[in-house]
Amino acid sequence: MSNPLSFPAVQDYLAALVPPREPEMQAMERYADEHDFPIIGPVAGYQCYQIARMIGAQRVFEMGSGYGYSTAWFARAVRETCARQGQNDGCGVVHHTVWDAVLSEMAAGHLSRMGFDGLIEYHVAEAVETLKSTPGPFDLIFNDINKEAYPASLPVIKDKLRPGGVLIIDNMLWSGRIFDPADRSGATEGVREFTRRITTDPDWIVTLSPVRDGMIIAYKK
């Protein structure tokens, strides 16, 4: 009898455990499937939401936000944290950062329809420089930029994240390419080097979660 425990089987099982999403988020998921657009997906998205709720995040900065799918998970967490504290307008902010103005416009439409107006700050710009120039500190930073730029982003992230804050960084298994010693591409080397740097830095407590394409979850001491 073959072993039914496989990576795809685990991912499918985890996806089945995520509570149903509202129609707008389901529409975003369908768009990603139909256009082969790389979103973090419901399992990783729900994990991001859970972490943001656990630390009571009110200031979130996203580096590489696409058309707002991950942003919606963080915005939901921030809104719920603010509501729990009895605060409303001006309580929290999620920074959506993407190079592409069309993606930013798409995100604004989706997030507005989900009732997140006033909670999102949009940047059509390069993510690392935008983080550097945006007043901090932040409770949570999410990083999903070009993989070649991962290592150089770490000092900026470390400077802008509060003690006790959390960094989440996507694609750390890189579809298995990190395991291929012959793959010396800039993107693969960027993922490897970022992983080496953050896991050997004593200022971080780090776990690599094998959800979807791998997410590093790092707590800044």
Domain ranges, ordered by start, for the chain: 7-220
Here the tokens at position 64 are: 């590489």
pLDDT tens sequence for the chain (221 residues):
567 788 889 999 999 999 999 999 999 999 999 999 999 999 999 999 999 999 999 999 999 999 999 999 999 999 999 998 877 777 899 999 999 999 999 999 999 999 999 999 999 999 999 999 999 999 999 999 999 999 999 999 999 999 999 999 999 999 999 999 999 999 999 999 999 999 999 999 999 999 999 999 999 99
Fold of 7-220: Rossmann fold (3.40.50)
